[in-house]
């Protein structure tokens, strides 16, 4: 993380639904990658918190030296959640028989029942520790494929930990999170769906149905994803109007990268705004959307955080409400359609995902592609 990083606001939009009860059909999950488990603001030294990632219970905590860790929340002895036990800032102790584990490596450091008559070496036993890194106020956890051996933190074979791009040392930031009662695929294609904007996000201050017009967007392939190339932003969107006061040409880049990441970068001269939106499988049939954003626009104007929060929260809430309604329908397992060109990015997502799962590396875009739709 670079520079002075302050989290000014955050909101959890989980009050609307009991997601697990309303969940529809499951999705195939991509293991072997990094996912944000939870926010780390409240995770002071000696504290732990529970998360569910790809259906796996995870215990995240912070040691006295400041490092954070993630353990599968199941004791390797007899399976009781380690979160039922104790953490003293150094070791996690299981509630059932008091085995103690160093939580970054998962190594067992003590089995209280052992006597000098026994030869069992506790340090040969490991709880399941996952690589865990802090970025942009999130604890990112590497979730290995089921059955994979012990993954050593910091291993060079691991993919890079995702991070929000920043273009200056001073910036402000904000985050939002919302639980969605649908599987990760619906969460992700909802994220890249241009045609819902005028309907789901219509508002007097944003845009209305009457403003629907034809758009031409240029895409290009990037590793495990695609980029909507820099373009003049649409004149009818409010954040761009806010940026526009600087009178500089504005460029926008939107990247989608597997397994679940949408990076948006807006730059106008020295000013910039970036966001990283992820849709993380909580279980095979539910997911959570997290948005982190940073900017140096209006750095000196204190109420910019409230403005950003207002736009972001309202936007994400509208998506959340819509997906809750969609989940009601999906429980009946209806057939679904993806149409050209508005759903083309969704088709690319499914193709990229299949390539990753099958290990073929095939990319659905062989070169630049231009798409047209009305939104
Ligand atoms: S179940 Fe954890 S120590 Fe026995
Ligand atoms: Fe949306």
268 lines ligand 1 (CB under 6 A): no
Range of the domain at 101: 33-143
pLDDT value at position 244? Answer: 53
92 lines ligand 1 (CB under 6 A): no
94 lines ligand 1 (CB under 6 A): yes
Q: Is the pLDDT reported for residue 2 higher than 70?
A: no
Q: Is the pLDDT reported for residue 69 higher than 80?
A: yes
Domain total of the chain:
2
**CATH number of the domain encompassing residue 219:** 3.90.380.10
Residue 151 in domain: no
Residue 20 in domain: no
- Whether 248 and 368 map to the same domain: the answer is yes
Its pTM stands at 0.88
Nearest partner of 268 among 232, 306, 299, 218, judged by Cα: 232
- Whether 271 and 332 map to the same domain: the answer is yes
CB-based contacts of 56-59 (< 8 A; 24+ apart in sequence): 56/143, 57/81, 57/83, 58/130, 58/141, 59/83, 59/92, 59/103
- Whether 135 and 70 map to the same domain: the answer is yes
- Whether 135 and 269 map to the same domain: the answer is no
- Whether 245 and 129 map to the same domain: the answer is no
Residue 24 in domain: no
**Mean pLDDT across 51-73:** 97
CA gap 73, 57 in Å, rounded: 5
**CATH number of the domain encompassing residue 43:** 2.102.10.10
Give the distance (Å) from ligand 1 centre to CA of residue 90: 18
Confidence label for 207 from pLDDT (cuts 50, 70 and 90): low
Considering every ligand atom, which ligand is closest to the CA of 73? 1
> Which residue puts its alpha carbon closest to atom 1 of ligand 1?
78
- Whether 361 and 265 map to the same domain: the answer is yes
Pocket-testing residue among 72, 76, 97, ligand 1, by greatest number of atoms within 8 A of Cβ: 97
pLDDT value at position 312? Answer: 76
99 lines ligand 1 (CB under 6 A): yes
| Domain closes at, from 143, 161, 186 | 143
Could you give the C-alpha distances from 184 to 32, 82, 278, in angstroms and in order? 16, 27, 10
pLDDT digits (tens, 9 = 90+) for 278-296: 999 999 999 999 999 998 8
Residue 322 in domain: yes
Q: Is the pLDDT reported for residue 165 higher than 50?
A: yes
Give the distance (Å) from ligand 2 centre to CA of residue 94: 43
pLDDT value at position 300? Answer: 62
Tokens read off for 341: 């060109």
Residue 123, classed as helix, strand or coil, is helix
- Whether 91 and 180 map to the same domain: the answer is no
- Whether 74 and 116 map to the same domain: the answer is yes
- Index of the ligand 1 atom closest to the CA of residue 94: 2
Residue 367 in domain: yes
Residue 4 in domain: no
């Amino acid at each position: 993380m670079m520079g002075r990083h302050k989290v000014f606001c955050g909101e959890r939009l989980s009050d609307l639904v009991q997601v697990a009860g309303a969940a529809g059909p499951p999705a195939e999950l991509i293991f072997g990658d990094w996912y944000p488990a939870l926010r780390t603001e409240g995770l002071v030294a000696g504290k732990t918190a529970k998360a569910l990632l790809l259906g796996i219970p995870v215990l995240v905590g912070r040691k006295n030296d400041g490092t954070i860790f993630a353990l599968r929340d199941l004791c390797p002895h007899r399976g009781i959640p380690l979160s039922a036990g104790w953490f003293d800032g150094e070791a996690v102790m299981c509630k059932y028989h008091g085995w103690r584990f160093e939580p970054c490596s998962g190594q067992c450091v003590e089995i209280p029942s052992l006597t000098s008559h026994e030869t069992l070496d506790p340090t040969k036993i490991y709880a399941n520790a996952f690589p865990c890194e802090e970025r942009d106020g999130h604890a990112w956890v590497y979730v290995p494929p089921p059955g994979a051996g012990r993954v050593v933190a910091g291993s060079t074979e691991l993919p890079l930990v995702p991070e929000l791009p920043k273009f200056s040392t001073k910036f402000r930031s904000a985050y939002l999170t919302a639980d969605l009662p649908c599987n990760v695929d619906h969460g992700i294609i909802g994220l890249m769906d241009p045609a819902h904007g005028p309907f789901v996000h219509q508002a007097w201050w944003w845009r209305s149905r009457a403003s629907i017009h034809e758009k031409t967007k240029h895409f290009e392939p990037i590793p495990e994803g695609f980029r909507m190339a820099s373009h003049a932003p649409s004149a009818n969107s409010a954040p761009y109007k806010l940026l526009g006061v600087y009178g500089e040409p504005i460029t926008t880049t939107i990247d989608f990268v597997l397994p679940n990441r949408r990076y948006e970068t807006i730059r106008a001269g020295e000013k910039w705004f970036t966001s990283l939106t992820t849709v993380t499988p909580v279980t095979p049939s539910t997911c959570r959307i997290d948005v982190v954003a940073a900017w140096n626009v209006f750095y000196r104007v204190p109420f910019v955080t409230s403005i950003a929060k207002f736009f972001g929260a309202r936007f994400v809430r509208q998506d959340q409400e819509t997906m809750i309604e969609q989940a009601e329908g999906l429980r009946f397992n209806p057939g679904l359609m993806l149409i050209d060109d508005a759903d083309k990015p969704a088709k690319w997502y499914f193709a990229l995902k299949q390539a990753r799962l099958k290990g073929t590396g095939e990319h659905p875009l062989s070169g630049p592609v231009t798409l047209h739709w009305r939104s």
